[in-house]
């Protein structure tokens, strides 16, 4: 009798795509609202985005049950932080906390592909991108999820300097204005929706700037 | 008469059936600076007097946010109060993590009371030396509880603890019947008046008191100094008497009488825990 393999997995992939772009004084975080399993759609109206603090917003694609659990843990930790320090967590602090929280489950990971966006202590936009076990980096823009492979090359083309020699590697803020960035995000999702079956229905965008936080929703193809 | 013989251990009863260590812990509450709580149908106000140990130091924090819907004011050993506040915060966070809803206030005070009771029945522990006024809002309305070091807890319409609290209690006893239907502003004003009673003629400024409020649609928060000073100025301008007072006696005259009662030692025969 051939060796039996495990046919039950604790994980499932609910699909979806997340994108974030950081500007000089704003940050855009966006994610589609489609939740799938296999080749089926579970719902067309599920938010993958959560506001963790005043100036930190997280979007996560992957296994949404793990994403929800991760969101709850971070929200509870943020409450504790506020009680102890009498202030909100800064975005870089939240970034480190997310990394630690993910690595804490290094040997049974959260199946979550995260993008954290917000404003740093100087008011500049910041985006942090993660893998499932907490490896992270501050970047000017990022995409995660099923449509990431379609979107990232496009963002590289639009936002990255043609030669790494002209722009220093540490540049973590894009030169776009807020309106231009939002338009770019919409274009990204419209394009990804065309070819990625797991991306579509609607895209939910959150924009953080000095005035506060704004939410915008755009319809996408439903097929 | 046997007080000194049976007061070494918290686990030793006196022949009269009292635990002196627990009663001593309740004395510690009376030594702390005053804390006051009042509630209406929709709001709870917690207020405290900021007593600094010397002119050079800052005052100790006596009012803590436990959750959006619960706040606590303490009197007594503030260190014990801080530790218990941390416990309460943890309980609230864990409950809302598990049940995705706010912890009902009544449950929290029972957990707190049980925690205090443990310290009255272990020889290697001592009772918490702090009294807690827990104010909160849940589905069953606004509540104000008082938690003793003894492990007892009581619900109140209004209460005051700490030094010179009797003056505040006298004021509250006169006005409490109207609190249930009080507006938010009137509740704060009554808190300030009650607080003023405990100051016994000392000049009332926003630096000497802390006011906090929570209510329907209003998360727990401490009012900032400017707001408090403005409120103080408002009623100071109106006159020394609190508004809409039918009784003839002015609050200043009444403040003198309770003070004498405060000074007298508690009756040796009565067990203060049996309130």
Got the DSSP string for B164-231?
THHHHHHHHHHHGGGGGG--HHHHHHHHHHHHHHHHTTPPP-TTTEEEEEEETTEEEEEPPHHHHHHH
Residue A83 has its nearest CB partner, among B89, B94, B97, at B89
pLDDT of A95 over the 80 cut? yes
Query: Residue A59's pLDDT is what?
Result: 98
Cβ contacts (< 8 Å) between A76 and chain B: which residues?
Answer: 93-94, 97
Residue B255 has pLDDT above 50, yes or no: no
User: Can you list the positions of beta strands (E) in B77-177?
Assistant: 130-138, 141-147, 153-155, 158-161
Distance, in Å, from the CA atom of A117 to the CA atom of A140, rounded to the nearest integer, reads 10
pLDDT at position B263: 36
Element (H, E) at A148: helix A148-159
A197 closest CA partner among A147, A142, A145: A147
First to last CA, chain A: 43
* Band (B54; pLDDT cuts 50, 70, 90): confident
pLDDT band at A170 (very low <50, low <70, confident <90, very high): low
Instruction: Please report the ipTM that was assigned to this predicted complex.
Output: 0.86
Q: What's the confidence (pLDDT) of residue B1?
A: 58
How far does A47 lie from chain B, in Å, by closest CA?
18
Helix (DSSP H) and strand (DSSP E) numbers for chain A: 4, 12
Residue B274 located in a structural domain: no
Residue pLDDT, tens place only, B96-143: 999 999 999 999 999 999 999 999 999 999 999 999 999 999 999 999
What mean pLDDT value characterizes chain B?
87
Q: Contact A80/B65, CB-based, under 8 Å?
A: no
Would the pLDDT of B2 be above 80?
no
Mean per-residue pLDDT of chain A: 93
pLDDT over 90 at B83, yes or no: yes
Report CB contact under 8 Å: B86, A83.
Answer: yes
* B57-79 per-position pLDDT tens digit: 888 899 999 999 999 999 999 99
Q: Determine whether the interchain pair A80/B89 forms a contact, defined as Cβ–Cβ distance below 8 Å.
A: yes
- B106: burial class by Cβ within 10 Å (0-12, 13-18, 19+)? middle
Instruction: Write down the pLDDT at residue B5.
Output: 87
Distance CA B41, CA B144 (A): 11
Q: How far is A82 from chain B, CA to nearest CA, in Å?
A: 10
- CA dist B231 and B214 (Å) reads 17
In the predicted structure, residue A189 carries a pLDDT above the cut 90? yes
Q: Is the pLDDT of residue B249 over 80?
A: no
Q: Could you give the percent of chain B with pLDDT greater than 90?
A: 74
Confidence of residue B253 (pLDDT cuts 50, 70, 90): very low
Q: Pick from B196, B194, B188: which is nearest to B171 by CA?
A: B194
Confidence tier at B4 by pLDDT (50, 70, 90): confident
CB B65 within 8 A of CB A83: yes
User: What pTM does this model have?
Assistant: 0.85
Q: Residue B144 sits in a domain of what CATH number? A: 3.60.20.10
Contacts of B89 in chain A (CB under 8 A): 79-80, 83
Give the residue from A76, A79, A85 with the most B CB atoms within 10 Å of its CB, the best one to mutate. Answer: A79
Task: Choose the mutation target among B82, B92, B97 for the interface with A, i.e. most A CBs under 10 Å.
Answer: B97
Query: Is B217 domain-assigned?
Result: yes
Q: Specify burial of residue B275 (Cβ count, 10 A radius: 0-12, 13-18, 19+).
A: exposed
| pLDDT bucket at B270, cuts 50 / 70 / 90 | very low
Quickly state the pLDDT bin for B12 (edges 50, 70, 90).
very high
Q: How far is A108 from chain B, CA to nearest CA, in Å?
A: 21
Domain-embedded: residue B59 = yes
Q: Nearest residue of B to residue A76 by CA position?
A: B93
Nearest to B49, CA basis, from B57, B59, B38: B59
Is B65's CB within 8 Å of A79's CB? no
Helix residue ranges, H only, A105-177: 148-159
Reported as a single tens digit per residue, the pLDDT across B144-185 is 999 999 999 999 999 999 999 999 999 999 999 999 999 999
pLDDT in the model for residue B224: 93
Rounded to the nearest 10 degrees, the angle between the axes of helix B165-175 and helix B184-199 is 140
- At B251, the pLDDT band (50, 70, 90 cuts) reads very low
Domain count, chain B: 1
Domain that holds residue B37: 20-258
Residue A174: pLDDT band by 50, 70, 90 thresholds?
Answer: confident
By CB atoms closer than 10 A (0-12, 13-18, 19+), residue A94 is: buried
- B218 found inside a domain: yes
Is a pLDDT exceeding 50 seen at residue B269? Answer: no
Whether the per-residue pLDDT at B252 is higher than 60: the answer is: no
Confidence band of A204 (pLDDT split at 50, 70, 90): very high
Min distance A26 CA to chain B CA atoms (Å): 29
- At A165, the pLDDT band (50, 70, 90 cuts) reads low
Q: Which of B65, B86, B93 sits opposite A76 (nearest CB)?
A: B93
Confidence of residue B260 (pLDDT cuts 50, 70, 90): very low
CB contact at 8 A, A15 and A34: yes
- Asked if the structure places residue B267 within a domain, the reply is no
**Domain assignment of residue B10, yes or no:** no
Mean pLDDT, rounded, for A149-162 = 88
**pLDDT at A192 > cutoff 80:** yes
Instruction: Determine, for residues B97 and A83 on separate chains, whether the beta-carbon distance falls below 8 Å.
Output: no
Which residues of chain B are within 8 Å of residue A69 when distances are taken between CB atoms?
A: none
B34 assigned to some structural domain: yes
B6 assigned to some structural domain = no
pLDDT at residue B258, as a whole number:
37
């Amino acid at each position: 009798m051939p060796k039996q393999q495990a046919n039950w997995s604790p994980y499932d992939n609910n699909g979806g795509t997340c994108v974030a772009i950081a500007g000089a004084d704003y940050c855009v975080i966006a994610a589609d609202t489609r939740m799938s399993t296999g080749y089926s759609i579970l719902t067309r109206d599920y938010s993958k985005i959560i506001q963790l603090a005043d100036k930190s917003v997280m979007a996560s694609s992957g296994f949404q049950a793990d994403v929800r659990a991760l969101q709850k843990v971070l929200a509870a930790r943020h409450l504790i932080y506020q009680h102890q320090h009498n202030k909100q967590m800064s975005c870089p602090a939240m970034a480190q906390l997310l990394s630690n929280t993910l690595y804490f489950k290094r040997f049974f990971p959260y199946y979550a592909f995260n993008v954290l966006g917000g404003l740093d202590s100087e008011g500049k936009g910041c985006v942090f991108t993660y893998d499932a076990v907490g490896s992270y980096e501050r970047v000017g823009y990022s995409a995660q999820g099923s449509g990431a492979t379609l979107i990232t090359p496009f963002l590289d083309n639009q936002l990255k300097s043609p030669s790494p020699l002209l722009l220093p590697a540490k540049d973590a803020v894009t030169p776009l204005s807020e309106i231009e960035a939002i338009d770019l995000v919409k274009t990204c999702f419209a394009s990804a929706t065309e070819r990625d079956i797991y991306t579509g229905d609607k895209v939910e965008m959150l924009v953080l700037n000095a005035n506060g936080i704004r939410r915008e929703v755009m319809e996408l193809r439903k097929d | 008469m046997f007080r000194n013989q049976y007061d070494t251990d918290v686990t030793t009863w006196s022949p009269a059936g009292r635990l002196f260590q627990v009663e001593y812990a309740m004395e510690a509450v009376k030594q702390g600076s005053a804390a006051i709580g009042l509630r209406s149908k929709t709001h709870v106000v917690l207020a405290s007097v900021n007593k600094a140990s010397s002119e050079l130091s800052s005052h100790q924090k006596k009012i803590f946010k436990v959750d959006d819907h619960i706040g606590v004011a303490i009197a007594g050993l503030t260190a014990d109060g801080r530790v218990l506040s941390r416990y309460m915060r943890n309980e609230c966070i864990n409950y809302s993590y598990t049940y995705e809803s706010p912890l009902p206030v009544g449950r929290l005070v029972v957990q707190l009371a049980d925690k205090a009771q443990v310290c009255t029945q272990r020889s290697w522990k001592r009772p918490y030396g702090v009294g807690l006024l827990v104010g909160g809002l849940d589905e069953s309305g606004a509540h104000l509880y008082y938690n003793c070091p003894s492990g007892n807890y009581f619900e109140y319409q209004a209460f005051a603890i700490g030094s010179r609290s009797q003056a505040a209690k006298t004021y509250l006893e006169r006005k409490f019947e109207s609190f249930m239907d009080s507006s938010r502003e009137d509740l704060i004003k009554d808190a300030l008046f009650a607080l003023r009673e405990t100051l016994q003629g000392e000049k009332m400024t926003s630096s000497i008191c802390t006011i906090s409020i929570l209510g329907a649609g209003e998360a727990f928060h401490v009012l900032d100094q400017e707001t408090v000073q403005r409120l103080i100025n408002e009623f100071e301008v109106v006159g020394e008497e609190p508004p809409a007072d039918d009784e003839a006696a002015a609050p200043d005259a009444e403040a003198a009488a309770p003070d004498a009662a405060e000074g007298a030692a508690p009756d040796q025969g009565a067990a203060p825990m049996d309130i």
